[in-house]
Amino acid sequence: MSTPVGTPRLEAASERANRRRGLLLALPSYVYLIVLFAIPLVFVGVYSFASRSRTGKPELADWNLDAVAKLLDSTVLQIAWRSTWLALLNTVLCLLVAYPFAYYIATRRERVRNMLLLLVMIPFWTNFLVRTYAWRVLLDSDGLVTRLGEGLGLWGSMLFSAPAVFLGLLYGFLPFMVLPLYAAIERVDWSLVEAARDLYASGWKAFRRVTLPLTRPGIIAGSILVFIPSLGAYVTPDILGGAKTTLLGNYIVGQFLAARNWPVGSAVSMAILIVMLIATTVYFRSGGRTF
Amino acid sequence: MKRLLALLGVLALIATACGDDDTATTAATSAAPATTAAPATTAAPADPLQAAADACTPGQVDGDLSFYNWTEYIDPELIDAFEGEYGVEVIETFYDSNESMLAQVDAGGAVYDLIVPSDYMVTIMAEEGLLIDLNDSAITNLGNLDPTFTGLPFDPDGAYSVPYQWGTTGIGFAYEALGEDFTPSWSVIFEPDPSYAGEISLLDDSRETLGAALKYLGYSLNTTSQAELDEAVELIRGVKDSIKLFDSTTFDDNLVEGETMVAHGWNGGFLGSYDGISTDDYDAYEDFGYFIPQEGGVAWVDTMAIPRTAEHVCTAHTFIDFLLDAENGAALTNWNFYASPNSASAEFIDPEIIEDESIYPSDETFANLEFIADTGDFEINYQDALTAIKN
């Protein structure tokens, strides 16, 4: 910060005022984050080491590592593995569907583009639970999707099966992938692609060597936005999958509600959080910091 | 770039909101009335809420009633009648499981004047000090209760709870699957005929689901024997391929819509749905039925209780009294198809309901039923067992 010769004190004062104003503007966010995120998170952490009363009340006494030890239980590990695999698969599916779609949107005229974006976001105006139940109507034995499949001779009723869960997750999280991809593709400097073509790169090669690397930040942002909530998904597997397999989200809900075992529920929640935190930190440290 | 960040921020918020959807129904609870007169009767009462309750007189109201109940469990006309008679408003909020209700009441913050916990939950809530001792002198109609439903094991002195409705857990089915002539046994689920295997739903509830298997095996559904529980787990795992889904909320809808043919569930749910799809020209009871398996099953009692979150304890007492009235109790049953613990109501209940053994089982069947009791630390084992089944 260069200080003009004549008025150093005025300058310093204005800078202080600026900083104060900045703090004031950020204050609501700080309060929000501390009260609604940081403090509850501390609670969750603390409860991981607490104990359960005979009636299931969490008690901040008899501190122990039982709940943490349960993380290594083979059932919990299997559930974690299954959830991770499902979240990964959903992320890849979303990416495969969303990329061409986002590419299409980003290369339209502005008015068409805005309308398409609006269409992507409109479903958010309805509650996720309601939309998931709507899929149930589409997928049940005389649902539209089922009849279409039967007409084509390709599929029958998928309701309460794994494909229904994937369809529901893909549908639910697609916008989280489309929007960041769109933002990244829209910013691509197309003259670079043209230059590649001028240098005799094939269309595919130009895409792979130029467009894809340029849109990498969008791919990463979208993947994180899809992967993390997919990992905790529990409404979709319950409603569309018939609750036949337990995922991490269902397991945590079961611990908090049915078993009233807050320590275990907290420990599993904390473990997921810590693993995700480490994974993203490692990623950004290792040079993935591109956006 | 800034637009992108703002967008991501909004999306992240939506994402976190999505995870919470199951409890969204309970979110609208802050609509509780603001007109609360602090009951400062004595100089320094040890327990002002209890003191206020003890001072209530029959028919007294002290503000609007915040009623926290199961969904579709009370005739809206009964609510209107109460509002008209006492000049107060009833604000209804709903829950779908005892556990989510408990979490909500335990957290405090919101005002709930009256709740409808099931049997075992009364034990838990009373033990945790979440319920106030009812003032029997303000409930003039207590004498209407059937003696069978007083002094029940979950609240032996009836100190904290008054029975609301009772029912059974059994099997709803389509005659198309079982035919007219079948053995009313849990074997319908655990030894399914190939013709309907794969079209079966089980409740998604650790105690109920394992309870069905335990009963089939001839054990108590309140067992605390790990060996017996393991056997039940193996039994259900063995037929998992025949189970289409685990479902505690739409088991009846799925049955009548043809998604399933045999469903484990609560009697009132099935009968309400059968009644709902019946028309002048169509009698759903010709296609669908309900039975309590001969090995026995679950009997449950939902009760009315006043939690510590209450602010209008006298209105709550008056409402309990109102529902214990013979005609009002009958109106409740005529609407929700669950049995009434109110013996004075009998003459006002539709004869069809009174004579229906799937609502009012015979004494012989009743003797075979068990109430779910809280098993303390063993609840964890039940939940682990359900997880193991689904793994």
State whether B245 and A179 contact (CB < 8 Å): no
Q: Does residue A56 have a pLDDT over 70?
A: yes
What pLDDT, on a 0 to 100 scale, did the predictor assign at position B20?
Answer: 41
Phi and psi of B157, rounded to 5°?
-95, 0
Q: Does residue A75 have a pLDDT over 70?
A: yes
Residues of chain A in contact with residue B19, where contact means CB-CB under 8 angstroms, are 229, 232, 234-235, 249
B196 and B283 within one domain: yes
- B72: helix, coil or strand? coil
Nearest CA distance, A204 vs chain B (angstrom): 27
Q: Does residue A289 have a pLDDT over 60?
A: no
Task: Please state, rounded to an integer, the average pLDDT across all residues of chain A.
Answer: 90
- Give the residue, A2 or A165, on which the prediction is more confident: A165
Residues of chain B in contact with residue A229, where contact means CB-CB under 8 angstroms, are 15, 18-19
Structure tokens at B329: 């109790």
Residue A87 forms contact with B (CB below 8 Å)? no
The DSSP secondary structure of B104-168, one letter per residue, reads: HHHH--S--SEE--BHHHHHHHHHTT-BPPP-GGG-GGGGGB-GGGSS-TTSTT-SS-EEEEEEE
B180 and B153 within one domain: no
B226 and B252 within one domain: yes
Is residue A148 very low, low, confident or very high in pLDDT (cuts 50, 70, 90)?
very high
B149 and B78 within one domain: yes
Is the Cβ–Cβ distance between B117 and B305 less than 8 Å?
yes
Other CB atoms within a 10 A radius of the CB of residue B334 amount to 16
The shortest CB-CB distance from A242 to any of B3, B244, B380 is to: B244
State whether A258 and B257 contact (CB < 8 Å): no
The Cα A94–Cα B186 span in angstroms is 43
| pLDDT tens digits, B156-194 | 999 999 999 999 999 999 999 999 999 999 999 999 999
B279 and B223 within one domain: yes
What pLDDT, on a 0 to 100 scale, did the predictor assign at position A234?
Answer: 87
Q: SS in 3 state form for chain A?
A: CCCCCCCHHHHHHHHHHHHHHHHHHHHHHHHHHHHHHHHHHHHHHHHCCCEECCCCCEECCCCCCHHHHHCCCHHHHHHHHHHHHHHHHHHHHHHHHHHHHHHHHHCCCHHHHHHHHHHHHHHHHCCHHHHHHHHHHHHCCCCHHHHHHHHHCCCCCCCCCHHHHHHHHHHHHHHHHHHHHHHHHHCCCHHHHHHHHHCCCCHHHHHHHHHHHHCHHHHHHHHHHHHHHHHCCCHHHHHCCCCCCCCHHHHHHHHHCCCCCHHHHHHHHHHHHHHHHHHHHHHHHHHHCCC
Is the Cβ–Cβ distance between A67 and A48 less than 8 Å?
yes
| pLDDT tens digits, A180-220 | 999 999 999 999 999 999 999 999 999 999 999 999 989 99
Q: Does residue A111 have a pLDDT over 70?
A: yes
The shortest CB-CB distance from A57 to any of B8, B15, B128 is to: B128
Q: Which domain holds residue B225?
A: 168-299+361-390
Residue B1 lies in a domain: no
What pLDDT, on a 0 to 100 scale, did the predictor assign at position B38?
Answer: 44
| pLDDT tens digits, B203-219 | 999 999 999 999 999 99
Instruction: Give the number of beta-carbon pairs within 8 Å between A and B.
Output: 122
What pLDDT, on a 0 to 100 scale, did the predictor assign at position A22?
Answer: 87
| pLDDT tens digits, B121-152 | 999 999 999 999 999 999 999 999 999 899 88
State whether A179 and B204 contact (CB < 8 Å): no
Nearest CA distance, A286 vs chain B (angstrom): 22
Residues of chain A in contact with residue B255, where contact means CB-CB under 8 angstroms, are none
B380 and B235 within one domain: yes
Residue B39 lies in a domain: no
The Cα B225–Cα B231 span in angstroms is 10
Contacts (Cβ under 8 Å, ≥6 apart) of A183: A218, B3, B4, B7
| pLDDT tens digits, B325-377 | 999 999 999 999 999 999 999 999 999 999 999 999 999 999 999 999 889 89
The shortest CB-CB distance from A159 to any of B21, B205, B259 is to: B259
The Cα B232–Cα B295 span in angstroms is 15
Residue B98 lies in a domain: yes
Does the structure's ipTM exceed the value 0.90? no
B82 and B54 within one domain: yes
B219 and B91 within one domain: no
The shortest CB-CB distance from B15 to any of A176, A259, A261 is to: A176
State whether B8 and A175 contact (CB < 8 Å): no
- Taking only residues 96 to 125 of chain A, the set having a beta carbon closer than 8 angstroms to any beta carbon of chain B reads 124
B85 and B148 within one domain: yes
Is residue B387 very low, low, confident or very high in pLDDT (cuts 50, 70, 90)?
very high
Residue B29 lies in a domain: no
What pLDDT, on a 0 to 100 scale, did the predictor assign at position B99?
Answer: 86
B124 and B104 within one domain: yes
Residue B60 lies in a domain: yes
State whether A258 and B383 contact (CB < 8 Å): yes
CATH at B176: 3.40.190.10
Other CB atoms within a 10 A radius of the CB of residue A93 amount to 19
| pLDDT tens digits, B247-275 | 998 999 999 999 999 999 999 899 999 99
Is the Cβ–Cβ distance between B305 and B178 less than 8 Å?
no
Total of domains in chain B: 2
What pLDDT, on a 0 to 100 scale, did the predictor assign at position B35?
Answer: 41
pTM: 0.82
Is residue B21 very low, low, confident or very high in pLDDT (cuts 50, 70, 90)?
very low
The mean per-residue pLDDT over the stretch A115-129 comes to 91
B385 and B311 within one domain: no
Please, what is the end-to-end C-alpha distance for chain B in angstroms? Answer: 44
Is the Cβ–Cβ distance between B297 and B318 less than 8 Å?
no
The mean per-residue pLDDT over the stretch B41-57 comes to 80
Contacts (Cβ under 8 Å, ≥6 apart) of B264: B169, B170, B171, B189, B200, B201, B202, B203, B208, B209, B212, B251
Other CB atoms within a 10 A radius of the CB of residue A18 amount to 10
B277 and B216 within one domain: yes
Residue A57 forms contact with B (CB below 8 Å)? yes
Q: Which of A130, A160, A247 to mutate to test the interface with B (most CBs of B within 10 A)?
A: A160
| pLDDT tens digits, A215-270 | 998 999 999 999 999 998 888 999 999 999 899 999 999 999 888 999 999 999 99
Is the Cβ–Cβ distance between B173 and B188 less than 8 Å?
yes
